[in-house]
């Protein structure tokens, strides 16, 4: 009988140890470990509150002690109805910078600076990677091109034309953009060339991949409500 009781006690002890092992990833002295919800924006910073569980219908970040991360998100599209799901990733903390990586989620990696961290509140501020900074500079250059292309209203399609712009990683232009012949055309085309070369350099530097199909060339251009519209 004593042997049976001893065996039962060993089994119970083993089961308790196993349960404890399963909870090890949640036990940590790092205040960051846990689930953070109710994000709000404040002057470029994101403020989170601690939660006991991952919400069903809300955004959240869960940092596990074993380096795993769970992002509760509805994706990039904010159009209702929102469908929330869990996206798994990895995280690591170094010098107050939290680096997050995903296998199949865009962007694949992000970095966040911890502004403040307590038992109940987490404040993060975005730390942009070198690639993101390069991409932002590229987008700013494109915005200059885009703004110049519609700097005058489109009232007569005869005063407008279009040109190819950008560089796909596989070769060829990204697309076509309209512009008025009444603007400084030489300056505009110089900006187009600068953007195209910058995108080509970006693709090479960061080993960007793309499809190899060429964009369709517009057949005509029409003016709609003061804006140029390319017809294919």
Confidence (pLDDT) at 6: 37
pLDDT at 19 over 50: no
The band of 71, judged by pLDDT with boundaries at 50, 70 and 90, is very high
Mean pLDDT of all residues in 182-211: 95
| Residue among 56, 108, 111 at smallest CA distance from 82 | 56
* Residue 64: count of CB within 10 angstroms of its CB: 17
Average pLDDT over residues 40-44: 85
Would you call the peptide bond into 81 cis, given omega within 30 degrees of 0 as the criterion? Answer: yes
Query: How high is the pLDDT of residue 219?
Result: 96
Mean pLDDT over 92-119 rounds to 88
Kindly state the percentage of the chain with pLDDT values over 70. Answer: 85
Of the segments 5-19, 122-136, 190-204, which one has the largest average pLDDT value? 190-204
pLDDT at 106: 63
pLDDT per residue over 117-161, tens digit each? 999 999 999 888 888 889 999 999 999 999 999 999 999 999 999
Q: What is the pLDDT of residue 4?
A: 39
Cα–Cα distance, 211 to 176 (Å, whole number) = 17
The answer to whether residue 94 scores a pLDDT higher than 60 is yes
Q: What is the pLDDT of residue 3?
A: 40
Residue 166 vs residue 103, higher pLDDT: 166
Check whether 7 has a pLDDT greater than 50.
no
Residue 24 has a pLDDT of 34
Residue 20 pLDDT level (bands cut at 50, 70, 90)? very low
Distance CA 28, CA 64 (A): 9
pLDDT category of residue 22 using cuts at 50, 70 and 90: very low
For every residue of 166-182, DSSP letters joined together read ---TTSS-SEEEEEETT
Res 80 pLDDT > 90: no
Higher per-residue pLDDT: 33 or 102: 33
pLDDT (average), residues 99-124? 88
Q: Which residues contact 171 (CB under 8 A, 6 or more apart)?
A: 212
Residue 9: pLDDT above 70? no
pTM of the full structure: 0.58
């Amino acid at each position: 009988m004593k042997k049976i009781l001893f065996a039962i006690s060993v089994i119970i002890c083993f089961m308790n140890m196993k349960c404890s092992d399963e909870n090890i990833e949640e036990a940590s002295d790092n205040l960051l470990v846990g689930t953070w919800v109710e994000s709000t924006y404040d002057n470029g910073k994101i403020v989170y509150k601690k939660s006991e569980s991952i919400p069903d219908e809300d955004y959240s970040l869960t940092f596990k002690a074993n380096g795993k991360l769970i992002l509760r998100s509805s994706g990039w599209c904010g159009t209702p109805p929102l469908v929330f799901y869990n996206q798994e990733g990895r995280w690591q903390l170094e010098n107050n910078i939290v680096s997050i990586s995903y296998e199949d989620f865009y962007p694949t990696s992000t970095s966040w600076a911890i502004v403040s961290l307590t038992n109940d509140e987490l404040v993060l501020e975005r730390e942009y990677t070198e690639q993101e900074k390069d991409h932002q500079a590229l987008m700013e250059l494109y915005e200059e091109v885009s703004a110049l292309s519609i700097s005058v209203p489109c009232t007569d399609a005869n005063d407008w034309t279009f040109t190819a712009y950008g560089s796909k990683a596989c070769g060829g232009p990204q697309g076509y953009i309209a512009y008025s012949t009444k603007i400084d055309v030489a300056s505009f085309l110089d900006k187009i060339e600068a953007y195209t070369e910058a995108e080509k350099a970006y693709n090479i530097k960061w080993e960007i991949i793309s499809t190899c199909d060429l964009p369709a060339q517009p057949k005509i251009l029409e003016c709609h409500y003061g804006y140029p519209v390319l017809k294919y």
